Amino acid sequence: MSSELPQDIKKVDEELNQQLLRDFTGEKTGFVQVGPQKWFFPSKFATEWSNYYNLKVRSDDVWVVTFPRSGTTWTQELVWLIANGLDYNTARRIPLVERFPFLEFNTFVHEETKAEFLAENAHDSMRQAMIERICEPGYKVLDAMASPRFIKTHLPFSLLPPDLLETGCKVIYVARNPKDVAVSFYHLNRLIRTQGYQGDFKKYWNYFEKNLHPWTPYWTHVIEGWERRSHPNLLFLFYEDMNKDLPATIQKVAAFLEKHLTDEEVEFLSNYLDITNFRRNSAVNFDLLKDVGMLIEGEQAFIRKGQTGSWIEEFTPELQERADKWIEDNIKKTDLRFPTEKIAIPM
């Protein structure tokens, strides 16, 4: 299965663009839609996408590919530790964002927003240097990294290097039911200033459902991963299964990465990754962004609840009915089924 190079990138309608800019204050120029699927991204993607698509993949790379807020950070730390001989000392000492670079993060840092961060930290040259490092294009960071590289991306397969699965590298794709995804992503968009979302959840869901939010369309993204699940170099996981039985997930990932773990090692790693402990782990909690003022005070933390079904806290009955109809309409077109009773739609 091969990817196709996107042939067209179009700006969204100007009236809609202005509305989006009012609601997502981290972007300053506007938004674009990419290719026939109309993948939605901020303006910088128009000049950067080819750098992601043409990234030279190495045979010993390990990639974690997800739609945002699908257990990405949790999976990254799990994968990195298994692949690196359970080196907890290094994992605690070096932030995950440095051990496991985020390929396209620079696309989401508008130059004007970056200038604001630099100006606010003008008194501290070390913080300014940190901002420059955080905002450096992921493809440049990765080109300079020694192997084996660990790569995080939220890009769909159709925008990733077309030879990704054919080089011999390992790719882990994680999917999570869309209602939990949307609630978690809503809070992240309120937390991080590169997004700077100002509205309520109802308006946010409207954008999400209509594919007017970065990395959407959600369903196309997940289905592209699902369709590749039988490839020997891809491991497809459901967040709900990880949450239900983390030790089993650890063993599955270890087998995929051709590593052996003892029962004692699995138990220790499970405890290390337990959400209560994980939430307190500064190496995975984006403390670097907090230190330089890129996170908004008073919002929920980057690592939130780690639960399945917490979407109920944001969805009104009316919105839940609307979301369930949207899910049913989309999921019946595929054999993809989430391992949650609320999402499973009979054939």
Per DSSP, the three-state class of 16 is helix
pLDDT at 237 over 90: yes
Cis omega (within 30 of 0) for bond into 346: no
CA atoms within 13 A on the CB side of 10: 9
- Each residue's pLDDT tens digit, 70-107: 999 999 999 999 999 999 999 999 999 999 999 999 99
Domains detected in the chain: 9-331 (3.40.50.300)
Entry field: residues in the chain: 347
The pLDDT score that the predictor gives to residue 2 is: 40
pLDDT tens per residue across span 5-56: 455 899 999 999 999 999 999 999 999 999 999 999 999 999 999 999 999 9
The structure tokens listed for 26 are: 């981290």
The confidence score (pLDDT) of residue 286 equals 65
Rounding to the nearest 10 degrees, give the CA dihedral for residues 144, 99, 73, 282.
-140
Averaged pLDDT, 185-198: 91
Give the confidence band of 305 by pLDDT, cuts at 50, 70, 90. Answer: low
Encode 155-187: b = buried (16+ Cβ within 10 Å), e = exposed: bbbbbbbbebbeeebbbbbbbbbbbbbbbbbbb
Reported for 204-213, long-range contacts at CB under 8 A and 24+ positions apart, including other chains, are 205/319, 205/323, 207/20, 207/23, 208/178, 208/182, 209/322, 209/323, 209/326, 211/38, 211/40, 212/12, 212/16, 212/20, 212/31, 212/40, 213/40, 213/185
Note the pLDDT of residue 307: 56
Q: Is the pLDDT confidence value at 287 over 80? A: no
Instruction: Give the chain's mean pLDDT.
Output: 89
What average pLDDT does the segment 183-206 reach? 92
Can you give the pLDDT at residue 292?
A: 80
Instruction: Determine the pLDDT at residue 39.
Output: 97
Six-digit token pair at 31?
């938004």
| 3-class DSSP assignment, residue 315 | coil
205 pLDDT above the threshold of 50:
yes
Strands 170-175 and 234-238: parallel
Give tens-digit pLDDT for 112-151.
999 998 999 999 999 899 899 989 999 999 999 999 999 9
Q: Over 60: is that where the pLDDT of 276 sits?
A: yes
> Does the structure show a pLDDT above 80 at 341?
no
Output the pLDDT for position 314.
78
Element (H, E) at 64: strand 62-66
Average pLDDT for 104-111: 94
